[in-house]
Amino acid sequence: MEAGTAAAMAQEHFGSADLGDARRTRRLVRTASLILARPGGTLPSKLPDWSDLVGLYRLAGGEAVTHEAVTAAHRRRTLGRMRRHEGVVLVIHDSTELDYTHVAALREQLGQIGNGGGRG
């Protein structure tokens, strides 16, 4: 995705997020834009500028920056578009399960998947 398109999409989806401080919202939009521009790889590869990577870690560590707060603006936008659409709207969910039962070092940190015999 081109940088300009990524920036516009990040602003549209996260620009109205209420994280208790406008600087946090700006950081969220900037981070989302950078991640959208480089969707593959690790966070350091998506955010090669050290200040952006550290900025994300600081943002994520903030008490006001919850999953609910970060996704609320995107959710409002999506629900609004669904309400305005005439006709059927399909809501597709990814129910992928990753089975890491064989990784002994992770076993205690993982949750039950499938029929209860696996950890993931």
Provide the greatest CA pair distance for the chain. Answer: 50
75 with 99, same domain: the answer is no
41 with 73, same domain: the answer is yes
79 with 94, same domain: the answer is no
Provide the domain limits for residue 110.
90-120
114 with 78, same domain: the answer is no
pLDDT of res. 40: 83
41 with 18, same domain: the answer is yes
What residue ranges of the chain have pLDDT lower than 50?
A: none
CATH, residue 50 = 1.10.246.40
Total domains in the fold of the chain: 2
19 with 56, same domain: the answer is yes
pLDDT of res. 31: 96
62 with 119, same domain: the answer is no
57 with 76, same domain: the answer is yes
pLDDT of res. 98: 82
pLDDT of res. 3: 65
